[in-house]
Amino acid sequence: MAIVLSGKEFDNEVLESEGVVLVDFFAEWCNPCKMLAPILDEVAADMEGKAKIFKVDVDEAGELADRYDITTIPHLIIFKDGEVVEEIGGFHPKESLIEKLEEYCK
Q: In the chain, which residues have pLDDT < 50?
A: none
42's CB contacts (< 8 A; 6+ apart) are: 94
What pLDDT does 26 receive?
Answer: 96
Q: What is the CATH number of the domain that holds 25?
A: 3.40.30.10
Catalytic residues: 30, 33
The answer to whether the beta carbons of residues 9 and 65 sit under 8 Å apart is no
9: amino acid identity, one letter:
E
DSSP string over 30-87: -HHHHHHHHHHHHHHHHTTTTEEEEEEETTT-HHHHHHTT--SSSEEEEEETTEEEEE
Does this model's pTM top 0.85? My answer is: yes
Q: How many domains does the chain have?
A: 1
Dump pLDDT digits (tens) for 7-20. Answer: 778 998 999 989 99
What pLDDT does 2 receive?
Answer: 76
| Domain range for 35 | 3-105
What pLDDT does 32 receive?
Answer: 95
